[in-house]
């Protein structure tokens, strides 16, 4: 959370600021390892959710059918299921995006070591494909660090007035 408690951009600390004096290739490698670790945690969370009693395939097993829980006007049960689905879908998207970014960083680290001009064409093509895959999951409106267009008619970033 931000230090002022206003729910603005979260304080990310100074972890990446400490890389200022590091060789750029080494900095990429350090960030690459941090992203791999984070992706493993996200994947573990997905596995845990899929094994839980709240998993989509398990909801309703040996339980009362939805209709027996109350009339369709009883929205809380449906709201809970819908919320779970949204969280699960977003975690899957996060995992896919991280996978693309991790592969991209792996390729960038390799390119920084051998030089882009020395890369094979298939690796360059893979770099472009991975970049396109990562871009597919990027939403500037949800990025607190993106430069958002200001002025009349500009979309407002979430959480702003």
What whole-number distance in Å separates Cα of residue 107 and Cα of residue 55? 35
Compute, in degrees rounded to 10, the torsion defined by CA atoms 143, 149, 153, 158.
20
Exposure string for 34-53, b = 16+ CB within 10 A, e = fewer? ebeeebeebbeeeeebeeee
What is the residue extent of each domain of the chain?
22-51+74-142
| DSSP classification of residue 89 | H
Query: 109-135 pLDDT, tens per residue?
Result: 778 778 888 889 999 999 999 999 989
| Global model pTM greater than 0.85 | no
Cα distance between residue 46 and residue 95, in whole Å: 9
Specify the long-range contacts of residues 131-136, CB closer than 8 Å, at least 24 apart. 131/104, 133/96, 133/100, 134/97, 134/100, 134/101, 134/104
Tokens at residue 47, please?
A: 């596995």
Lowest mean pLDDT among 78-82, 103-107, 120-124, 138-142: 78-82
pLDDT digits (tens, 9 = 90+) for 36-85: 787 788 777 767 767 776 555 554 444 344 455 455 676 787 777 777 77
Positive or negative: CA dihedral 94, 32, 128, 126: negative
């Amino acid at each position: 959370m931000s230090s002022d408690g206003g729910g603005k951009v979260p304080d990310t600390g100074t972890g990446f600021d400490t890389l200022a004096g590091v060789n750029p290739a080494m900095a990429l490698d350090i960030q690459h390892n941090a992203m791999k670790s984070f992706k493993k945690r996200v994947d573990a969370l997905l596995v845990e959710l899929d094994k839980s009693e709240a998993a989509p395939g398990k909801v309703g097993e040996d339980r009362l059918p939805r209709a027996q829980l109350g009339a369709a006007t009883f929205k809380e049960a449906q709201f809970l299921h819908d919320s779970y689905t949204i969280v699960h879908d977003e975690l899957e998207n996060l995992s896919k995006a991280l996978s693309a970014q991790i592969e991209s960083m792996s390729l960038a680290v390799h390119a920084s070591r051998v030089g882009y001009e020395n890369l094979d064409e298939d690796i360059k093509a893979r770099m472009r494909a991975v970049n396109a895959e990562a871009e597919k999951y990027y939403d500037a409106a949800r990025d607190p660090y993106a430069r958002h267009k200001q002025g009349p008619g500009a979309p407002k970033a979430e959480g702003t007035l």
